[in-house]
Structure 1
Amino acid sequence: MLTIVLCFYNEEQWIARTLASLATQTDRRFSLILVDNGSTDGSVAAARSALKGMADIDARFISEPVAGKIHALRAGTMAAGTRYVATIDADTIYPPHYTATLLAMFARRPDASCAIGFGLPPNGVDGWTHRKLRFFAWALPRKCHSGGYAQAFDTARLMASGGFDAKRWPYVLEDHEIVNAIAKSGPILYHRDLYCFPSDRRSDRSAVGWTLAERIAYKVLPVAVMDRFFYSFLAGRFLRRGAANVALRNQDQWNRAD
């Protein structure tokens, strides 16, 4: 039913925790594709060790030598052979009901293009962040209110939209751009129980995110102008300030794992 794509670059300190959370999933109708984007540390060995406890899950490694998460995402999603494909991050914890909730959402709405989970702080369920994100999902159901750590797509619709494509979008925020591309083919699904816990380790997001004004513009502008917002307005601004997708690899901005 589902392929989970986990792209990683030098995640030796984190990837085992993420895989351990996948090992607790109550609905195990998924396979794993792990995409190594040129790691120079022990990430692959750490992942293989963690997978020893998941003998009932089909997992395979592929390598994407071109630097940049968007290239790894394209390689991983193109290799998926299931109806649905989900992207996750190597520094994120997924509650045991994550895949069960996701598959149930798609079962109820087979016309959906994608399903997006909320990224919450530890112990943040029903807290302020959870309530705020649920409000945005209710008020602006055709916008993306989360990141690539919690996105899933109808695979056929994803491929028909062009998929992850560095030629179309070589910048950061590829998680929001891909939702803009695929949402034309069907509804975006949100659910209060689809959430995860990303790490809060990036101490400086200025090089990999948008400004407050850009974020507000994304929220308030109508869906009809989103193509122009991304491919004319935002692309030009990202180009001028050097916000290329490869900037996501800069770990100098991270608070290191314990």
Structure 2
Amino acid sequence: MSKLWVVMPAYNEEHGITGALAALAAQLDRDFTLVVVDNNSTDDTATVVRDFASEHPWMRIELIEETQKGTGAAADTGMRHAISRGAVRLARTDADCLPTPDWTTRINAAFESGLRLISGQLIPRTDEGVKWVDRTIIRVALEVASTFGKFRPGNQDSRYLGPYVMTPGCNMAITAELYEAAGGFPRTAIEDLHEDRALVNAVRTITTDYGLRRDVRVYGSNRRVRAWGVRKTLAWYADHRYKPELVDIR
């Protein structure tokens, strides 16, 4: 059994998850197990995953279900399932994301360097019909948010042992022992809490063995930008200052 397990929450992703699965199938280092967590989908997400698994029998793919709706709940279920099956290293990406071919290679190298929590570089996808200028604005905004996060009052506390590092849930990795020590992802819905930030701040009370690795790269979806526009998308990620009727854009 591999040390590294990759967890992928998925909700109503029948039309998009094949790209994410294919990106993982194309990894240079294939020594990992993938856990897809079907988050109570109402479409054929599970069927698409099963079909992909049957067409790629050399991949270790496990499909499990979490009926409690929420990215935090689904990710936590997947992480704890992996740990129960012997995982030592955990990575997470999302069903609308495309990890680069060296993603697992770079994650393992970061672990070998001594990191226990790895924050990867999130890059906007270029294949979703979103204008170059909008993608550029989002990319710049991510850099600004990363810098601002270090000074944000909500990320300041005397208990923290090191500086805040923005860690996208769709491109991060953590040791199993640290995940359990930090309490894991809060089992919340995406509308309620940014579960990735909560996990990072919990880790900061335990260790300084965490950091950004820009060579750990994932291309993330722009579908919210396409549906809401840049301004509303940025407001959404800024503590949900924009509250749309439909969050799960597909």
**1:126-165 → structure 2 map (5 Å cutoff):** 129=139, 133=143, 136=146, 142-165=163-186
Residue 158 of structure 2: aligned partner: none
Q: Matched residue pairs, number?
A: 216
Partner in structure 1 of residue 10 of structure 2: 8
| Structure 1 residue matching 2:59: 3-state secondary structure | coil
Paired residue for 1:92, among 94, 97, 100? 97
Query: What is residue 220 of structure 2 aligned with on the other side?
Result: 198
C-alpha separation between the residues in 1 aligned to 2:51 and 2:146? 39
Calculate the TM-score normalised by the size of structure 2. 0.75
Number of the residue aligned with 1:27 = 29
The TM-score, its normalising length taken from structure 1, stands at 0.73
8 A contact 1:84–1:154 mirrored in 2? yes
- Contact kept? 1:85, 1:153, Cα under 8 Å: yes
Report if the CA contact (8 A) 2:165-2:212 is conserved.
no
What is the Cα deviation at residue 66 of structure 1? 1.1
* Cα separation, partners in 2 of 1:74 and 1:122, compared to 1, 3 Å: closer
Q: Quick one: structure 1 residues 9 and 135, their matched pair in 2 at CA, closer, same or farther if it must change by over 3 Å?
A: closer
Question: Residues 178-217 of structure 1 correspond to what in structure 2 (within 5 A)?
Answer: 178-186=199-207, 187-202=209-224, 203=228, 204-205=232-233, 208-211=236-239
- Give the letter for the 2:222 counterpart: D
Residue-by-residue CA offset, 1:206-246 (whole Å, 9 max, x unaligned): 785325xxxxxxxxxxxxxxxxxxxxxxxxxx7xx898xxx
Residue from 47, 62, 69 that aligns with 1:67: 69
Contact 1:117 1:150 in 2 (8 A): yes
Aligned-residue CA RMSD (Å)? 3.3
Structure 1 residue identity aligned to 2:117: C
Amino acid at match of 1:177: A
List per-residue Cα deviations over 1:136-174 (Å, max 9, x = no partner). Answer: 57x95732324111011111111011112338x993211
Residue identity (%): 27
User: Cα offset for 1:131?
Assistant: 11
Choose the corresponding residue for 1:105, options 105, 110, 127: 110
| Whole-angstrom CA distance in 2 between matches of 1:69 and 1:146 | 15
Instruction: Tell me which moved more, 197-206 or 38-47.
Output: 197-206
Give 1:68 shift. Answer: 1.3
C-alpha distance in 1, partners of 2:96/2:246? Answer: 13
State the Cα distance separating 1:191 from its structure 2 match: 2.0
**Quick one: which of 193, 199, 209 aligns to 1:172?**
193
Q: Does 1:43 align with 2:38?
A: no
Q: For residue 235 of structure 1, what is the aligned residue in structure 2?
A: none
User: Hey, what's the Cα distance between the residues in 2 that align with 1:175 and 1:5?
Assistant: 14
